């Protein structure tokens, strides 16, 4: 069985890095996946994405920039200070490794475990070995394993090994790009991606999808089911411009209005005493919320369950919900015990997806709610989202006002129809959000992705004067410009901006970013950082590419945008979509 040679793999990565065409990127990856064997195709997917595991697995290489520099120093025989100087000069750890390491005798071969022609599997397992090495002296062992890998690779391979080790691959490839490539490689067309996307939405493992598709075809992919400890992509709510439109869009006689929270979406996976908590980005945040873990063990009365809810900062003394900004202080690796006392949380549950071997995703919302009420024993620390079920919009509006008075964001109106299923990763008209911001001119804030910046002048000299922001086009897996954002930032935020965005900065227009020449920024960024933005209205634009119509030479733009906050809990693909912006423009 022929496995992909690592040298061939890195030449392919070089082609991906050098293309500015999203279609060409998909074609290159498609050919790579087609040539991969079933036993390595998952590794190929992870490495192209700059990972060594599914995103939800809490696997960390534990390598800082200084540690990678030390490994390069060991592999090259060049002093660490010289490696640091080269890093400052070149600005890319990969270029440094490629430039100064030469092929030589490898004194650390036994650390790496490499025995023959370098393959993808060798590199993947070497990186996994680094991640699993712990205890006394582990940093020295990690450096020797990495140094050994760097010595064995050629110049191109060293560039990508160093970037993988530091977590700075920056190829501009996303999970949807891989799904498009898999669809093209094995189903003949990108148009067949939706069936793969459904399997991905309920498994969150791109490597699993690839492996099953390669070995068993589409039939095998269709048999992938939800499983404990594999997070499910969250269902999302639609928006409307007018409160009365809720009645038009939700067809069931009764509407269930639930509290809408301004906290962190947390999906719970309980397997006996083992509890895992996953964020909206599908990352493992269990260690950040030990109090939630304790309360889930105590008050959730079934052995195996997947729950959907929101963690909220809570003032128990005054019986008040805290803001999102307060809660975000809990997102930390250190001082967790201190901040647990300083910022207590309350877990508000609103859905159940799986109980003791049975999926509830294809049961109606009323049935899921009834099941949720049975599996949970409510307490002051963990409770059900309050709701009001009514066919009368005036009654729903009264409940909305009550929620605003409780310092909540608003309400989520849910259909009670028989087909009100939980649609993983979908934004469906069976859920509609109504927030206090909707009473203003524009019917919501937008979550936009930073893809560029313009040099600051005058008072902003030395930092960025404005950011170029984009919406996400889910159909094309591209990012389309919609706003030039320059207001709402404090002087401190402006000063810190170059450093904050430094790890996403690239030299050219990323392949998945669609920008008109008139809007080309001074600096480019890989789509990574998401910001919440408030504007006055959505208008047609001759320069922005959101929902661009070639026949009219026009796209959509957000007028008078203002920065509200960073959205660290959202991935770029979870940003406001171009379709949503068009809906907002039409007042749907």
Residue 433, CB-side half-sphere exposure with 13 Å CA sphere: 19
Last residue of a domain, one of 106, 133, 166: 166
Its sign, for the CA torsion 285, 286, 287, 293, is positive
Determine what percent of the chain is predicted with pLDDT higher than 70: 96
- 194 is a domain residue: no
483-522 pLDDT tens trace: 999 999 988 898 899 999 998 999 899 999 999 999 999 9
CA distances from 213 to 42, 174, 182, 201, 539 (A): 11, 19, 8, 15, 43
Mean pLDDT of the 13-21 span: 93
Q: Show the domain range for 109.
A: 51-166
Mean pLDDT score of the chain: 91
Q: Do both 414 and 462 map to the same domain? A: no
Determine what percent of the chain is predicted with pLDDT higher than 90: 74
84-111 pLDDT tens trace: 999 999 889 999 999 999 887 777 766 6
Last residue of a domain, one of 439, 461, 477: 439
- 17 is a domain residue: no
What's the rounded Cα separation, in Å, for the pair 126 and 147? Answer: 11
55-89 pLDDT tens trace: 899 888 888 889 999 999 999 999 999 999 999 99
Q: What pLDDT, on a 0 to 100 scale, did the predictor assign at position 440?
A: 52
Check which CATH number belongs to the domain holding 429 and give it: 3.30.470.30
CB 146 within 8 A of CB 130: yes
- 181 is a domain residue: no
Q: Do both 503 and 430 map to the same domain? A: no
**79 C-beta neighbours (distance < 10 Å), count:** 10
Q: Do both 315 and 370 map to the same domain? A: yes
Q: Do both 393 and 254 map to the same domain? A: yes
- 520 is a domain residue: yes
Residue 247 burial by Cβ neighbours in a 10 Å radius (0-12, 13-18, 19+): middle
- pLDDT confidence band for 336 (50 / 70 / 90): confident
The number of folded domains in the chain is 3
- 44 is a domain residue: no
Quote the strand ranges of 181-281, DSSP E.
236-239, 255-260, 264-271, 274-278
Is 260 one of the annotated active-site residues of the chain?
Answer: yes
What's the rounded Cα separation, in Å, for the pair 547 and 40? Answer: 38
Mean pLDDT of the 133-154 span: 90
Check which CATH number belongs to the domain holding 61 and give it: 1.10.3260.10
CA-based nearest residue to 489, from 563, 588, 554, 546: 563
- 298 is a domain residue: yes
166-216 pLDDT tens trace: 988 889 999 999 999 999 999 999 888 999 999 999 999 999 999 999 999
Q: Do both 160 and 294 map to the same domain? A: no
214-235 pLDDT tens trace: 999 999 999 999 999 999 999 9
Q: What are phi and psi of 43, to 5 degrees?
A: -65, -40
- 126 is a domain residue: yes
Q: Do both 65 and 141 map to the same domain? A: yes
Q: What pLDDT, on a 0 to 100 scale, did the predictor assign at position 268?
A: 98
27-58 pLDDT tens trace: 999 999 999 999 999 999 999 999 999 989 98
CA distances from 206 to 13, 54, 87 (A): 18, 7, 33
Q: What pLDDT, on a 0 to 100 scale, did the predictor assign at position 530?
A: 97
Q: Quick check: 1 pLDDT over 60?
A: no
Q: Do both 383 and 463 map to the same domain? A: no
Q: Do both 361 and 392 map to the same domain? A: yes
DSSP sequence for 269-314: EEETTEEEEE-TT--B-GGG-HHHHHHHHHHB-SSEEEEEEEEEEE
Q: Do both 475 and 331 map to the same domain? A: no
Last residue of a domain, one of 110, 145, 166: 166
Q: Is 68 helix (H, G, I), strand (E, B) or coil?
A: helix
Q: Do both 369 and 514 map to the same domain? A: no
Check which CATH number belongs to the domain holding 514 and give it: 2.40.50.140
- 487 is a domain residue: yes
CA-based nearest residue to 451, from 392, 527, 397, 521: 527
Residue 154, CB-side half-sphere exposure with 13 Å CA sphere: 11
Q: Do both 321 and 450 map to the same domain? A: no
Q: Do both 435 and 459 map to the same domain? A: no
Residues in the chain, overall count: 588
Active-site entry in 144, 233, 260, 547: 260
């Amino acid at each position: 069985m022929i496995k992909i040679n690592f040298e061939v793999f890195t030449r392919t990565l070089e082609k991906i890095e050098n293309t500015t065409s999203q279609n060409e990127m998909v074609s290159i990856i498609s050919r790579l996946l087609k040539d991969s064997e079933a036993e390595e195709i998952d590794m190929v997917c992870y490495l192209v994405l700059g990972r060594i595991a599914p995103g939800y697995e809490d696997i960390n290489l534990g390598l800082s920039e200084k540690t990678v520099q030390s490994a390069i120093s060991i592999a090259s025989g060049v002093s660490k200070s010289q490696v640091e100087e080269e890093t400052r000069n070149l600005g890319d750890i990969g270029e440094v490794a490629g430039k100064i390491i030469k092929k030589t005798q490898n004194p650390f071969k036994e650390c790496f475990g490499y025995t023959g022609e370098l393959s993808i599997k060798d590199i993947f397992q070497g990186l996994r070995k680094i991640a699993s090495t712990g205890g006394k002296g582990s940093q020295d062992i990690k450096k020797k394993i990495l140094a050994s890998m760097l010595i064995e690779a050629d110049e191109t391979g060293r560039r990508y090994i160093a970037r993988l080790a530091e977590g700075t691959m920056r190829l501009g490839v996303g999970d949807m790009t891989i799904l498009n490539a898999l669809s093209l490689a094995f189903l003949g067309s990108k148009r067949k991606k939706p069936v793969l996307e459904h399997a991905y939405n309920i498994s969150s493992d791109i490597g699993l999808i690839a492996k099953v598709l390669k070995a068993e075809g589409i039939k095998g992919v269709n048999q992938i089911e939800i499983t404990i400890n594999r997070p499910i992509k969250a269902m999302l709510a639609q928006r409307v411009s007018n409160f009365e439109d809720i009645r038009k869009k939700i067809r069931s006689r009764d509407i269930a209005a639930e509290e809408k929270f301004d906290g962190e979406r947390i999906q719970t996976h309980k397997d006996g005493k083992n509890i895992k908590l996953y964020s909206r980005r599908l990352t493992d945040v269990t260690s950040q919320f030990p109090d939630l873990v304790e309360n889930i063990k105590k008050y959730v009365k079934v052995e195996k369950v997947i729950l959907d809810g929101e963690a909220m900062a809570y003032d128990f003394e005054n019986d008040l919900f805290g803001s999102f900004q307060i809660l975000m202080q809990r997102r930390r690796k250190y001082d967790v015990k201190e901040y647990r006392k300083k910022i207590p949380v309350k877990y508000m549950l609103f859905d159940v997806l799986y109980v003791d071997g049975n999926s509830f995703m294809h049961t109606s919302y009323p049935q899921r709610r009834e099941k949720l009420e049975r599996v949970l024993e409510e307490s002051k620390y963990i409770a059900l989202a309050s709701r009001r079920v009514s066919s009368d919009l005036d009654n729903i509006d009264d409940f909305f006002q009550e929620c605003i008075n409780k310092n909540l964001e608003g309400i989520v109106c849910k259909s009670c129809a028989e087909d009100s299923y939980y649609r993983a990763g979908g934004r469906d008209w069976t859920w509609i959000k109504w927030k206090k911001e909707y009473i203003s001119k524009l019917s919501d804030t937008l979550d936009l992705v930073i893809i560029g910046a313009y040099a600051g002048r005058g008072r902003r000299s030395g930092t960025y004067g404005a950011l170029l922001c984009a919406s996400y086009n889910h159909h094309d897996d591209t990012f389309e410009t919609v706003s030039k954002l320059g207001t709402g930032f404090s002087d401190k935020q402006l000063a810190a901006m170059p450093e904050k965005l430094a790890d996403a900065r690239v030299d050219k227009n990323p392949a998945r970013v669609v920008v008109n020449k008139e809007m080309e920024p001074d600096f480019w960024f890989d789509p990574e950082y998401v910001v919440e933005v408030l504007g006055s209205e959505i208008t047609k634009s001759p320069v922005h590419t959101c929902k661009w119509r070639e026949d009219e030479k026009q796209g959509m733009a957000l007028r008078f945008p203002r920065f509200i906050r960073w959205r660290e809990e959202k991935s770029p693909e979870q940003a406001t979509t171009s379709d949503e912006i068009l809906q907002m423009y039409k007042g749907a």
